[in-house]
Amino acid sequence: MGEKYSTFFQRLFVVVLGIPILGYIIFWNDIPFLVTVIIFNILANIEFNQMHAKKDYQPSLIFSTIFSLYFIFISIGQLISIRFDHVLILTVLILLYFTSRLFIKNKNIPLSGIAITLFASIYIGFLSSFLIKIKLLPNGNMFLIFLLLIVWMNDIAAYIIGTAVGKRKLAPKISPKKTIEGSIAGIVFSVATIIFLNRWLQYDFSKLFFIGMTVSIIGQFGDLFESMLKRSADIKDSGTIIPGHGGVLDRFDSLLFAAPVFYYCIVYIP
């Protein structure tokens, strides 16, 4: 029980400290935010590579990071109005990467390494690029803060309620500690959070309810998805950089799934 409370207070401290810091970075100007997203991509790729390198799959950290940053720089190009030939750059990168696989030591399993490398770039780079797309929206800075609050309230409520009263397992084969009670609490608190924020959004109630519920559910899928990746790699946490959470993937796994959904909800729901 003492360990649970210790973990909870570590998580709470990270959230309480993290929201003002990220809020300041988001509202400061574009450059600090873009640098933060780039740093996240680098750290996340390092963690992802370390997760799977133990299985001797030989993914390429260099190329998974380059491909991830490719998606980020496309969005940055839109932000600062720089045009470049995306297809040409992607073609060159793909050919360079495929050619580099000719020089790996273990040539019996090249496809697994290639698949993991390309998957990492989509999972980390492509999904996180939606954070920049959200920032590009009118009132994008506020939307980013709302997204962070929704996702983190979901995580906190699911953890607290799940730990306190959770009985029925949500996905025991993937993440044994997650419960249905915690999942429902996360959805309720996510919806309540975005409704509370409506004084700034001025949206229709049905739209707020749909966004809060959808982002919460998809965010929980993101959490479970990363748990599945860790289970396949036989590890508990993706890293140790964040106290009480593990690695950056452990902290932002829900956000990776939630960001694209939140973006399209804002853009397409009238």
What DSSP line would sit under 12-58, residue for residue?
Answer: HHHHHHHHHHHHHHHHH-HHHHHHHHHHHHHHHHHHHHHHHHTTT--
pLDDT bin (cut points 50, 70, 90) of residue 15 is low
Instruction: Give per-residue pLDDT as tens, 154-166.
Output: 988 888 888 888 7
Residue 62: which of 28, 87, 96, 32 has the closest Cα? 96
pTM listed for this prediction: 0.87
Sign of CA dihedral 265, 267, 268, 270: positive
CB-CB contact of 224 with 171 (8 Å)? yes
Instruction: Give per-residue pLDDT as tens, 226-253.
Output: 989 888 878 877 766 765 567 888 888 8
